Amino acid sequence: MLEDKNTEKTSLAELGEFGLISHLTKHFKIYNSTTKKGIDDDCAVISAGGKETLVTTDLLIEGVHFDLSYMPLKHLGYKAVMVNLSDVYAMNAKAEQITVSLAVSNRFPLEALEELYAGIQLACDTYKIDLIGGDTTSSTKGMLISITAIGIADKEDIIYRNGAKATDLIVVSGDLGGAYLGLQVLEREKQVYQVNPKNQPDLDAYTYIIERQLKPEARKDIPELLKELGVKPTSMIDISDGLSSELFHICTQSKVGCKIYEDKLPLDPQVISTCEEFNIDSTMVALSGGEDYELLFTVPISEFDKIKGNPNLSIIGHMTEENQGMNLVTRANQEIALKAQGWNSFS
C-alpha cells in the first residue's frame, strides 16, 4: 500500500553490530542531567538525584503488534517510544531515558533501520528523551522491538492504580476509539489492495483515526495540566487496552466499583461516522478499542469545578462501593454490567 521510495539497500552485515549502533544513534542528543553516561560504555549511568526511579518495558512483534504493509517504519519507531512514555506519564512521572533493543531478519537493509531510528529520534527530540542504550541482533523471521523507558518523580507525586475512593469522579483525557477504528480502515484497505494493487486508497475521510493508529502521542501534557489546575488524581492509568480493561484494573486494585455513563464517553465525529459506516457500536469501540494512549484517572468529587468544562478532560462517571460492581448506564438509562474485555494480543 505504501510505496517503497527507498531504492538504495545496504546490507547490515557490511557494518557489523557496533558499526550499526553507532551509525543509527550518532545524531541523538542528550537532554536530561540525570543521564550521566549514555551508549558508549558497558552500562548507562543514571542519577535519580534523590527521586524515585520508574521503569517500564514494552515488546512489539511484527505480525502481532504491527503490520509493516501499512505501518511506515518511521511511524513504528515513533509509536514504539510513545507506548512506553505513556506508561511513565500514567504514573505522574517525568520520562527521561529509553533503551531500544531490536531484532531484525536479513530482509531489512540498513536504510529500513535508518527510517525506524528517524521515528525514534523524532520522539526523543519532541519529548526530550535520552536514548542511553540497547541491543541489536538478528532474527530468523521479522522484526521485534523492545523499548524500556525510565522516568523520575518525587515520591509523593507518584500516582498508582490503587488509590481510588468510592465517591471519586472518573475522568478521561482526549477521545476514545479512534486508534481501533483507524486500524479497521487500514486493514480494509490492505485487503482491497491485495485484490487490486492498482487501486489507490482514498483515506481523506479517515485522517484523524488513521493518525491515532499510526502516530499516537503520549499525554505528557495531562500531568502538567493537572498540576496547573491544582488537582492530584487518586489513581491513574493509561488507556492502552481499552477503557473497560483499564477501569477493571483501577477497580480491582483500589477495591471499588464504578459507574460510567454512555452519553459522557468522548467520541470524535470521525469515530462516530466511521462506526456508522462499519456498522459497529461506537460505545463498544470506546470501551474495548485499544491503543488510544489517553489517560484515565480518578479525582475527589470536591475537584469537580476544576475539571468540568476543560476541553482536554471528560468526566465520564464515578466510582462506587466495591459490591456494586462495574456498570455502564446506557442512553436509555438502563444499567448494564461492564466486562473487562480489552484488547488481548493472545487471542
Binding residue positions for substrate: 65, 291, 343
Nearer to Mg ion, 178 or 342 (CB): 342
Annotated binding site for Mg(2+): 42, 56-58, 87, 135, 238, 241
Please report, in angstroms and rounded to a whole number, the separation of the first and last CA atoms in the chain: 26
- To Mg ion, the closest distance from the beta carbon of 56 in angstroms equals 8
Alpha carbon of 323 to those of 74, 256, 297, 320: distances in Å? Answer: 47, 8, 21, 8
d(CA 337, CA 326): 6
| β pairing state of 257-261 and 326-329 | parallel
Is there binding between residue 175 and Mg ion (CB under 5 A)?
no
- To Mg ion, the closest distance from the beta carbon of 159 in angstroms equals 12
Annotated binding site: 42, 56-58, 65, 87, 117, 134-135, 161, 238, 240-241, 291, 343
Annotated binding site for ATP: 117, 134-135, 161, 240
- To Mg ion, the closest distance from the beta carbon of 30 in angstroms equals 26
Residues 238-257 that bind Mg ion (CB under 5 A): 238
Instruction: Report angle CA 224, 242, 156 to the nearest 5 degrees.
Output: 35
Nearer to Mg ion, 87 or 291 (CB): 87
Cell 460505545 locates to 283
Cell matching residue 234? 487518586
Q: Which residues touch 149 (CB under 8 Å, ≥6 apart)?
A: 55, 56, 57, 81, 84, 85, 87, 88, 95, 97, 98, 129
- One symbol per residue from 292 to 331: x for binding Mg ion (CB under 5 A), - otherwise; what is it? ----------------------------------------
- To Mg ion, the closest distance from the beta carbon of 50 in angstroms equals 26
Nearer to Mg ion, 25 or 216 (CB): 216
- To Mg ion, the closest distance from the beta carbon of 20 in angstroms equals 31
Nearer to Mg ion, 54 or 112 (CB): 54
Strand order in the sheet with 94-104: 52-61, 143-153, 94-104, 130-138
- One symbol per residue from 73 to 112: x for binding Mg ion (CB under 5 A), - otherwise; what is it? --------------x-------------------------
Q: What is the largest CA-CA distance in the chain?
A: 65
Nearer to Mg ion, 96 or 238 (CB): 238
- To Mg ion, the closest distance from the beta carbon of 86 in angstroms equals 7
Cell matching residue 291? 491503543
- To Mg ion, the closest distance from the beta carbon of 240 in angstroms equals 5
Nearer to Mg ion, 34 or 245 (CB): 245
Total site size for Mg ion, rule CB under 5 A: 2
| β pairing state of 294-299 and 169-173 | antiparallel
Instruction: Report angle CA 325, 328, 334 to the nearest 5 degrees.
Output: 110
- One symbol per residue from 202 to 241: x for binding Mg ion (CB under 5 A), - otherwise; what is it? ------------------------------------x---
CA dihedral 325, 326, 327, 328 (to 10 degrees): 180
Nearer to Mg ion, 130 or 238 (CB): 238
d(CA 132, CA 143): 21
Sign of the Cα torsion 301, 305, 309, 312 reads: negative
Q: 3-class DSSP state for residue 193?
A: helix
Interacting residues with Mg ion (CB under 5 A): 87, 238
